């Protein structure tokens, strides 16, 4: 059974930082590309960042380039999303997903950016 468990969300002021973590089980983590999506109320789900299985290549949505960094630790079956210079428009539920077709999803973690 595949499980993806996100953590690290919360309330942060504009300009602040958060680091999200996602621990995977039930898959061969090192063989799977990983990604982070987000969904704000009333909006479509958006791909935020992705990373290849070996961590060599990453991609980002234009809205987060230069502020967010995706990384992974294959020894810990964990993918991270470092979020800096957060803006109110970054407020959303953030989801971790795994697999070439983003087949597996976590339950999400809420990020709220507000003063």
DSSP calls for 5-71: EEE--EEE-TT--EEEEEEEESS-GGGS-EEEEEE-TTS--EEEEEE-TTS--EEE-TTTTTTEEEE
Average pLDDT over residues 70-98: 98
Average pLDDT of the chain to the nearest whole number: 96
pLDDT tier, 52 (very low <50, low <70, confident <90, very high otherwise): very high
């Amino acid at each position: 059974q595949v499980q993806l468990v996100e953590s690290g969300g919360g309330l942060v002021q504009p300009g602040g930082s958060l680091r999200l973590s996602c621990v995977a089980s039930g898959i061969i983590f090192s063989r799977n590309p990983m990604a982070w999506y987000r969904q704000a109320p009333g909006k479509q789900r958006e791909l935020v960042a992705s990373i290849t299985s070996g961590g060599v290549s990453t991609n980002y949505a234009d809205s987060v380039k230069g502020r967010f960094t995706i990384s992974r630790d294959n020894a810990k079956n964990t993918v991270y999303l470092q979020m800096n210079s957060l803006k109110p428009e970054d407020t959303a539920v953030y989801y971790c997903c795994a697999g070439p077709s983003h087949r597996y999803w976590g339950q999400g973690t809420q990020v709220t950016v507000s003063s």
